[in-house]
Structures are given as structure tokens and as C-alpha cells.
């Protein structure tokens, strides 16, 4: 009984750490986050935080891995569904931008890890079951053959959609400066991307 109670306490503490770290990483990114602030938000001392996670890098990776692990099945379910192509594109853009909006540190984390530690990223961080773009590519090819969309390279289409969703979040400081947006306006602008990207992609596919 005591062992089970101790395990429940440990699980609760780890969840508090995870939630606090996620909040801080969302607000300040990896570089701006401080272990002391994460410990304070979790309601624990810094020594206990280091007991669970030896470094900020380890904690950052754990949070990112969990976010990616939750997102991948959602995207897989959509990509592998029998929804019409247009509906699939609309939902993908909505889901993708929503995930990044709630976890804006993820794109930079992925880019950094791929460049610095590609083997570790692909073997240890990415989930075993990933979305299968081949299914989407095959569906695009079928729509082209049926004459319902204009001929496009499906692989370029995938990269174009993902790039248009991700880039404003990666280049957020530049977007604020170049477009003259304050924080509130930038938040609205990023939310508007869901409609803007969808309309742009679908217009590009019309015969």
C-alpha cells in the first residue's frame, strides 16, 4: 500500500514538473527558461527537480518528445482516413497550426535536434509510428488522374503546406518586425494563417 502511495506521489510530482516546464518553454523558449522558475511553478525545490531531470536539456527533450508523441497519432489518423482530399487538407492545416500555436517551441527544437543530433532525434525522440505521407501522395495522384485537381508534384505539395504552416512561428521575431505587429496583433495574425494557408493551397489546386 505504501509503495503504491509513493508511486502516486512520484507520478504527481513528475506531472507537475512536466506541466510547469511546458508553460515556461511555451512562454520563454529553451534559452529563456530557467530551472528555478520551473521548480517554483511546480511547487518543488530545485534539488528535487534535478533529481527527476538532471539538466534543462533533458527536461526540454522530455517535454518535446511528449508533445510530438501526442501529435503524431492525430495527424496519422487524419492522413490515413478516407476523407476527401480537400477536407483532409483543411483539417490538416487546422490541426497542424493549432498544435504549433500551443507548442511554439517545437519547430525550433526539431530543427535544432535534426542539425545537431540527427541519429538521436530519429531513433529516440520521434515515435515509432509516424504519419504516412505516401497515403496522401497517392490520393493526390488519384485526384490528378481523375482531373479534379491540376497536375502538381505531390511531394512539393506536402512540403509547401508544412512550410506555410510552420515558417511564421519559426520566424516570429522577424514577422513582428517586418509587418509591424505587436504581440496581440501577431497572435491574431498567426490564427488567421489557418484560413489563409487553406485558401492559398486549395486555390493552387483548382484545375
Domains for the chain: give ranges and CATH numbers. Answer: 1-54 (1.10.10.60), 64-205 (1.10.357.10)
Q: How far apart are CA 157 and CA 48, in angstroms?
A: 47
- The pTM is what? 0.84
pLDDT at 80: 92
Compute how many other C-beta atoms are within 10 angstroms of the C-beta atom of residue 140.
Answer: 22
Question: pLDDT grade, residue 11 (50/70/90)?
Answer: low
**Model confidence pLDDT, tens digit, residues 52-107:** 998 999 999 999 999 999 999 999 999 999 999 999 999 999 999 999 999 988 99
Mean pLDDT (the chain) is 89
Mean of the pLDDT values across residues 27-43? 91
CB 173 within 8 A of CB 181: no
Q: Of 101, 103, 99, whose CA–CA distance to 24 is shortest? A: 103
Please say if the pLDDT value at position 10 is more than 60: no
Separation of alpha carbons 109 and 92, rounded Å: 21
Cα distance between residue 159 and residue 136, in whole Å: 12
Residue 4 is predicted with a pLDDT of: 43
User: Quick check: 164 pLDDT over 80?
Assistant: yes
Per-residue pLDDT, averaged over 130-158, amounts to 95
What are the grid coordinates assigned to 71, written together? 501529435
Amino acid at each position: 500500500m505504501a509503495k503504491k502511495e509513493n508511486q502516486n506521489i512520484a507520478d504527481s510530482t513528475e506531472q507537475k514538473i512536466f506541466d510547469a516546464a511546458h508553460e515556461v518553454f511555451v512562454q520563454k523558449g529553451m534559452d529563456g527558461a530557467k530551472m528555478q522558475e520551473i521548480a517554483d511553478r511546480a511547487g518543488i525545490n530545485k534539488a528535487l527537480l534535478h533529481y527527476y531531470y538532471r539538466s534543462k536539456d533533458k527536461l526540454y527533450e522530455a517535454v518535446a518528445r511528449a508533445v510530438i508523441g501526442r501529435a503524431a497519432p492525430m495527424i496519422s489518423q487524419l492522413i490515413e482516413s478516407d476523407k476527401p482530399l480537400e477536407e483532409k487538407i483543411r483539417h490538416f492545416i487546422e490541426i497542424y497550426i493549432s498544435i504549433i500555436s500551443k507548442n511554439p517551441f517545437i519547430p525550433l527544437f526539431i530543427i535544432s535536434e535534426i542539425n545537431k543530433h540527427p541519429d538521436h532525434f530519429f531513433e529516440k525522440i520521434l515515435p515509432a509510428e509516424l504519419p504516412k505521407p505516401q497515403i496522401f501522395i497517392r490520393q493526390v495522384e488519384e485526384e490528378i488522374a481523375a482531373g479534379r485537381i491540376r497536375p502538381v508534384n505531390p511531394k512539393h505539395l506536402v512540403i509547401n503546406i508544412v512550410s506555410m504552416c510552420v515558417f511564421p512561428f519559426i520566424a516570429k521575431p522577424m514577422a513582428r518586425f517586418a509587418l509591424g505587429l505587436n504581440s496581440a496583433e501577431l497572435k491574431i495574425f498567426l490564427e488567421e494563417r489557418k484560413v489563409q494557408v487553406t485558401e492559398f493551397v486549395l486555390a493552387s489546386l483548382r484545375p
